[in-house]
Structure formats: structure tokens, C-alpha cells
Amino acid sequence: MAVFTGAGVAIITPFTENNQVNYEELGNLIEYQIAEGTDAIIVCGTTGEASTLTHEEHLECIRYTVDKVAKRIPVVAGTGSNCTETAIYLSQEAQKFGADALLVVSPYYNKATQKGLEEHFTAVAKSVDIPLILYNIPSRTGCNILPRTIANLFKNVDNIVGVKEACGDVAQVAEMMQLTNGEIDLYSGNDDIIVPIMSLGGKGVISVLSNIAPGPTHDMVYRYLEGDVAGSLNLQLKYFPLIKALFCEVNPIPVKKAMQLMGFNPGHLRMPLTEMEPANTQRLINEMKAVGIKIAE
């Protein structure tokens, strides 16, 4: 059984004016997501600025999210690191807090070999008793988890059950699905190709778009699963310009700006991320209005 089916939000981490984690606002965002039909909360991922959280903040965000969600939908905790021992530590702590599953990114900067990747993910997975979803995003990590490596991990490690694929190469994803007999739980890591990934047997998406359009993102997946491929495609194409605007600067700069425009309180970005350029902000506003997202006065 998949950890979740549908649209999981890669939730942002809001900060206060003095650059501390704003847990009250995080709670508000969680309640908004659940009310709008999101199928899972993914906390402390790329969109959650995990790379600039201290270990203490990282773990407290996971603990807070698990407690706030209270088993209403699954919570997937981002616990990846470029240090295997750190990934093991974060993963074990997340399990203690009650996370339903883990999202573990490939080691960044080190640029491990495929053998190194297999050993890394195996060690992390075997240190816990909950499901693990691999996260392949070579554009950020400088390291591509190849289809054969994913297949080997899926076949040889019982609790490696899925993959968030953000390689952007649909042919590579197809090869991976062929090598796993279509049995691995596949989630799109790119909002602009949800429908193509669904066509390869995807279970859904781990989404940035869901932060500001949770209902439509959920519907995009479920219409496809229910056989309404045309309806799913219509939503993909409708939101395509907005998705592009959400990535016109590095994630999560645009999505935090979008949430601010909607009246949420996402707070600052932690450096080295900086505020959005005015021209890109206007582009974002235009695309938000085009799909009917209200801009707060």
C-alpha cells in the first residue's frame, strides 16, 4: 500500500520577523492544507528550506507537524543529508516522533558513485522501520540516481517503497518503472509534468504548487486516477504558466512570495536565498490572477 496517493504538499517553513521558525503559522498552513484536500504533508524538504534549518529546528518542525496533523493524513519527513550518519540520526528521530514515512534526498556535493548511493540509502533505510521514499533531484544535488540503482534498492531493501522523481527526464523515469515492473510508488517531483508521470504509473505528486493551489493539484491527480485523463490534462495546462512562474527564481522564493500575496505570513527567506525581483513578482501576480487565486489587499 502506498504511503499516500494524490497530491502531497512540500510545505514551506514560515519564519518570524527575527528569523525563528513560526510554529503558529506552520500550524495555520497545515490546517489550510488539510481543509483544502491535500493528501499528505511533506515537511522539511527543499521547499521547507531544510538546508538552512539547524538540526534542532529540523526535528522540531517534524515533531510539531506530526502532532498537529494527528494522523488525519500521512506526514512524510525529509531526513536526507550528504552525511550518511546525519541522515540516519534525523531518520531515527523522525520515526520516534511518529512520522509515517521518510523522504531521503540523494547526497549532495559529495557526488557519490552509484555503489555509494546504494550503500547510503540501504544504511538509512535499515536504520528505521518505516517506509522510505527516495528523492532524485540531480539539478540540486549534482548526482543522478540511475534507474538500475533505484531498481536494485527497491528490490533488495524492504522499506524502500517509492521515489520522488525530479530528474525531468521522462524516458529515464520510464526505464526505472520498467526495471521495477511498475511496482515502485512513483511521485512526480515536478509540477509541470504531473500528467506525464501519472501516465507511467505514478501515484501522485510531491508538490510546490499545492502550497497555493491544494485543491486543483489534488484534483489533477485524482481525475487521472479516476479515468478522466482529459480533465486532468486540462488542469495541468491551465496551471502550467503559474507553475513556470513558481520556478522563475529558485524554489522556494516564488512560492513564499505567492503565499504572502494570498495573505499568509510565510516570513523571510533564510540567506543565501533573497527576496523576489519586482519583475518576477509581477509575473507571479499575473499568473495567480489568471487562474483565479485572490491577491490579498
Q: Return the active site residues.
A: 135, 164
**C-beta atoms surrounding 188 within 10 Å:** 25
Q: Give the integer Cα–Cα distance in Å for 185 and 86.
A: 25
Distance between CA atoms of residues 284 and 247, nearest Å: 10
Those residues with Cβ within 8 angstroms of residue 245's Cβ, 6 or more apart along the chain or in another chain: 254, 280, 283, 284, 286, 287, 288
Q: Which of 47, 49, 57 is nearest to 270 (CA)?
A: 49
Question: Which one-letter DSSP state was computed for residue 133?
Answer: E
CA distance 227 to 222: 9
**Contact present, 12 and 214 (Cβ < 8 Å):** no
